[in-house]
Amino acid sequence: MKQVLVLLLFLAVVLLVGSCEKARTAPALVNKETVTVDSVVKKYLNTSIDTADYKLRLRALSNKDASGRWPAKTVYPLGGAILPYHRIIAFYGNLYSKHMGVLGELPKKQMLQKLQSEISRWRRADASVITIPALHYIAITAQNTHGKNDLHRLRMPHHQIDIVVGWAKEINGLIFLDVQVGHSTLENELPTLTKYLQLPFVHLGIDPEFSMKNENPPGATIGTYSAKDINYAIEFLAKIVRENHLPPKVLIVHRFTQNMVTDYQKIKPLPEVQVVMNMDGFGNKTLKKSTYHDYIFKEPVQFTGFKLFYKNDTKGNSAGLYSPEELLRFKPKPIYIQYQ
């Protein structure tokens, strides 16, 4: 029953955000006298998506791509899927460091106000989807020192993760827990986050950059994930979805080089898990667009994301960050936007 109530809270959040997109003042979401717990759960978990509408939305995201790559050819999601009905705007970082992203760099109030400002810009730029906020928290960080287990990774204490989960609830947002395995593996690290991933508003990110397949410490060279690694994460999430009767999870896979992800054709999204390949390289606009084209556009998986660095993208670069309007001209349009 506890899981059902948490699920209802998440579904109410998504519906409330959607209603605010359509009107400045929204009516009460649920009439407790006429809507039961069972009826809401049945509506969102026991119904299929409208496949015709889903296809239209994918074609809109493809932005009239004529290459034949997009929309990516993959499975339909279960009912209650976030994508492509919503665009996720996420702030990335870690509370222990002011150098890993805006989440952690700025005080809570200032950070959330800045996030709301970005949300408003995206809502103005594209009213065809519902724009929702997210906090993308690095829950397991790669380390250049060996650590106690010689694994070059540090797991964040759960009480700290709980803080960020609480912030996300305050803004009716999603949580992404990011994993940098260092010399460990996804098989060893993902189970430590199970209790969070069992919540319907908590999703996952994995970072090949810090998955070291050799003796080098993280940061010395760029790491890699194979399709086998990524499929493990997909299957891990799918099992959680099935066992807990959840809506589909979203998996973010970071990428900015060719070798960070190998055998992309073998990555298999499932009805329970939606996969976003997120371009997270920094630099000027020309470099970032080229990276997106070469490693995201040319190697389609399912959905796409784009990271913007408030500092690294603007160093010696008078052009500044990409605006929402500029990114919406990309093929395909990114549906997940991350600010660091």
* Predicted local distance difference test score (pLDDT) of residue 45: 55
pLDDT at 277: 98
What pLDDT sits at residue 48?
84
- Give the chain's residues under pLDDT 70: 1-47
Instruction: Look at strands 130-142 and 153-155 and give their pairing.
Output: antiparallel
Where does residue 122 rank: exposed (0-12), middle (13-18), buried (19+ CB within 10 A)?
buried
Query: What range does the domain containing 48 cover?
Result: 2-339
Q: Looking at residue 197, what is its pLDDT? A: 98
Question: What CATH number is given to the structural domain containing 103?
Answer: 3.20.20
* pLDDT score recorded for residue 65: 96
How many domains does the structure of the chain reveal? 1
Contacts of 103 (CB under 8 A, 6+ apart): 91, 92, 93, 94, 95, 111, 135, 136, 137, 164
**Are the C-beta atoms of 205 and 178 separated by less than 8 Å?**
yes
In this prediction, residue 46 carries a pLDDT of: 54
